[in-house]
């Protein structure tokens, strides 16, 4: 799979019975979003990445763009805004773990950052 496959994809509606990504899928998808880390807390996997900014206002502007992306994709992250840094965490709430949607959203987040 290539990064353009993720960028050209849209998030699908996630159902409670949707499958989490497999270890094989993670091996294929994770290299496409290399700045993102997979963290696990209470057996719940999430994708997390921090982005640096030279001002609080720039970080807020970026966070607003991520909020717009979330609304477009109907997939919503956790966003932490600090002075000089915004941390974005994607995971699929309904399945309590990672879905392909999270990798799509992470790739699109990177694209927004590189354009800001």
The residue range of the domain holding 78 is 3-9+19-115
Residues 44 and 67: their CA atoms lie apart, in Å, by 23
Each residue's pLDDT tens digit, 30-88: 999 999 999 998 889 999 999 999 999 999 999 999 999 999 999 999 999 999 999 99
Residue at 33 is within a domain:
yes
Q: Look at the chain and report how many structural domains it folds into.
A: 1
Indicate which CATH number applies to the domain containing 107: 3.30.1360.20
What is the torsional sign of CA 108, 8, 98, 74? positive
**Within-domain flag for 93:** yes
- Assign 1 a pLDDT band (cuts: 50, 70, 90): low
Whether residue 52 is contained in a domain is answered as yes
Q: Is residue 14, in this structure, part of any structural domain at all?
A: no
Report if residue 43 sits inside a domain: yes
Enter the pTM of the model. 0.93
The tens digit of pLDDT for each residue in 16-34 reads 888 899 999 999 999 999 9
């Amino acid at each position: 799979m290539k990064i353009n496959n993720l960028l050209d994809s849209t998030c699908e509606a996630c159902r409670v019975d949707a499958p989490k990504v497999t270890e094989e899928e993670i091996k294929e998808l994770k290299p496409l979003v290399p700045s993102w880390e997979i963290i696990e807390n209470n057996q719940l996997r999430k994708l997390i990445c921090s982005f640096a900014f030279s001002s609080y206002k720039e970080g807020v502007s970026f966070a607003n763009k991520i909020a717009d992306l979330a609304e477009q994709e109907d997939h919503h992250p956790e966003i932490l805004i600090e002075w000089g840094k915004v941390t974005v965490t994607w995971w699929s709430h309904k399945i309590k773990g990672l879905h392909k949607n999270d990798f799509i959203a992470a790739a699109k987040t990177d694209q927004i950052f590189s354009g800001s």
